Amino acid sequence: MTTPHPTASPPYRITPPRILRAEWHKLRSLRSTWITVISAVVLVLGVGLIMGATYTSGGGDSDVDTVVLSLYGSMLAQIFLVVLGILMTAGEYATGMIRSSLTAVPARLPVLWAKAVAFAATVFTVMLATSVVTFAAAQAFLHDTDQAASFTDPGILRALVGNAGALTLTGLLALGLGALLRSVPGAIGAFIGGVMILPEILGMLPYDAVERAIMYFPTQAAGALGSATPIPGTISPGPALLALSLWAGTTLAAAALTLKRRDV
Amino acid sequence: MITAHGLTKRYGDRTVVQDLDFTVRPGTVTGFLGPNGAGKSTTMRMLLGLDTPTQGRSTVNGRSYATHPAPLTQVGALLEARSVHPGRSAFNHLMALAHTHGIPRRRVEEVIDLAGLTDAAHRRVKGFSLGMGQRLGVASALLGDPATVILDEPVNGLDPEGVLWIRTLLTSLAAEGRTVLVSSHLMSEMALTADHLIVIGRGRLLADTTVAELIRSAGGASVKVVTPQPEELKAHLTAPNVTVTVTPAPVPTPGSHELRIRGVDTAHIGRVAATHAITLHELTPQTVSLEQAFMDLTQESVDHRPHRQHQPTPATGAAA
């Protein structure tokens, strides 16, 4: 036992970079983080290689955007990253860890921001690298087909960055949902229902206004961000980035509000 | 130092904690006692800013918990043992908490050793026994070397060795001048470790007193005497602060009467009886057990009867 020093001013204090470091330590010290991130990487890369290897010029996929074709696995990888985001927040309520986290940082909000930054930095970095490598690997098969493209072609780099950004922002939306609902199954259900199923159902309605609105939904905006050429029936990358950022930002803001007000 | 001023917590129309006022002073172990559901955990969560009081406020070391720039160095808390992600190792759990304050790895290893978790530090918490979980909770409470320690039911689930470890730890923390608040629903456990007691029932303060004072207020010590000469004995014991009551014996013996005497001890009664040749059949000291005193106190709060002997005694004597 060390001797107490109740009168001496403590050499330790909470700072935002320290909270970020703590959240980064929490993120990388869990097996589920590694499983979800590696699964996402393997899916994108694996599907990309299969798409490249099995492609034949003039087939049914000829009119598909090259980046979309190469990164087809992103749609599936998204599910793993959504789960990771939800586990980071709702998972702490499930385990009781949140009591430890908020006792250490009673200001509360910096914990949510640090989680979002740690998640975004990790997912964006990993998925950008994965997107670039997968595109290059797919081109090893596609270079002598009508899907041949290079990094310097118009829109290609933007779409690769856009794909990583879309995965990150959609993951942040899930992270916010997890913090808002405080339940892993609840947040996963809300994501499936609200983000994946709702636009499909609304799309059945015969109204142009609804159809236009659906273009701004997270999944549809994410699709627009990850394409080098404009996809018919989607918005352009600028508005898509803005829409997706607003979805993620609004959810995080709502999560922040409840975190500040509700008992733990 | 912990203070609570009119601390109240309501959920809808259910009042869990009602108008609690108390002060927990440094240098002693203060037991926070009450039956299950009395509001102990809720009170502790309010002290740590996890729950917002409906009314009232609390301070730790002079200010509300959340406003400390380095709260872990002010207050160390063991809440419910499972406030840990089971997939993380004990070391990683403590290291993550330490990072928020810039506490070095050296200190993390120190508290792991202190809690006796050295061998298990890099195993996932998932495989920990309840006792190891409590040890990890204690390690995280001591991480910031805090002047105030709050432990919620620390002996729950511990084996005898672990219980002894907690008792020794609590006493040494208090001896180092720290403020120690420990909750329990077991009076017997508190009797062994606590100097001062805060007793609550149904969210209300029932007593804020010392262990000795609680026994005294609950009826104190008396002596049971069985004698065939009750009137003679009574006459020879007469003094201003001595009371003698004749109680009917549970199993009446012809020519024998049972007396309950307060204010003198068995030695004095024995001497008086010997001097005056009074026959005694039985001479037994009777102490109200702490358990009984606790039951008497909390029974009222359970029954909603008017308070019979609710006398919150100001901190007097040894504990102050």
pLDDT of B296 above 70:
yes
pLDDT at residue number B92: 98
pLDDT at residue number B117: 95
pLDDT of A173 above 50:
yes
pLDDT of B218 above 90:
no
Q: Give pLDDT tens digits for B62-98.
A: 999 999 999 999 999 998 757 999 999 999 999 999 9
Name the closest residue on chain A to residue B47, using Cα atoms: A103
What is the average per-residue pLDDT within A187-209? 94
Q: A198-202, B28-32, B258-262 — which is least confidently predicted?
A: B258-262
Confidence of residue A29 (pLDDT cuts 50, 70, 90): very high
Amino acid at B315: A
Residue A183 CB contacts under 8 Å (≥ 6 apart), including other chains: A90, A93, A94
Question: From the centroid of its chain, how far is CA A145?
Answer: 32
Q: Beta partners for B20?
A: B7
pLDDT of B205 above 50:
yes
Q: Which residue has the higher pLDDT, B122 or A233?
A: B122
Read off the pTM: 0.85
The fraction of chain B above a pLDDT of 70, given in percent, is 89
**Who among B26, B52, B100 is closest to A104 (CB)?**
B100
**CB-CB contact of A74 with A161 (8 Å):** no
Using the Cβ of A26 and the Cβ atoms of chain B, whether some distance falls under 8 Å is answered with yes
Confidence of residue A126 (pLDDT cuts 50, 70, 90): very high
Amino acid at B252: P
Name the closest residue on chain B to residue A88, using Cα atoms: B85
Name the closest residue on chain A to residue B88, using Cα atoms: A30
Q: Tokens at residue A45, please?
A: 């890369």
Q: How far apart are CA A108 and CA A258, in angstroms?
A: 11
What is the average per-residue pLDDT within A91-112? 96
Vertex B226: Cα angle to B225 and B227 (nearest 5): 115
Residue B231 burial (10 A CB sphere; 0-12, 13-18, 19+): exposed
Residue-averaged pLDDT of chain B = 87
Using the Cβ of B144 and the Cβ atoms of chain A, whether some distance falls under 8 Å is answered with yes
Question: From the centroid of its chain, how far is CA B164?
Answer: 16
Q: Which residue has the higher pLDDT, B79 or B30?
A: B30
Q: Tokens at residue A150, please?
A: 């290079």
Q: Beta partners for B57?
A: B5
Q: Beta partners for B30?
A: B181, B196
Q: Which residue has the higher pLDDT, A82 or B157?
A: A82
Strands of B61-147, DSSP E: 75-78
- Judging contacts by C-beta atoms under 8 Å, the chain A residues touching residue B52 are 263
Confidence of residue B157 (pLDDT cuts 50, 70, 90): confident
- Judging contacts by C-beta atoms under 8 Å, the chain A residues touching residue B95 are 25, 29
pLDDT of A6 above 60:
no
Residue-averaged pLDDT of chain A = 94
What is the average per-residue pLDDT within A124-142? 97
| Residue B182, SS3 per DSSP | strand
Shortest Cα–Cα distance, B194 to chain A (Å): 20
What is the average per-residue pLDDT within A161-180? 98
Q: How far apart are CA B195 and CA B190, in angstroms?
A: 8
Amino acid at A180: L
Q: How many CB atoms lie within 10 A of CB A150?
A: 11
Using the Cβ of B104 and the Cβ atoms of chain A, whether some distance falls under 8 Å is answered with no
Shortest Cα–Cα distance, A115 to chain B (Å): 13
Using the Cβ of B242 and the Cβ atoms of chain A, whether some distance falls under 8 Å is answered with no
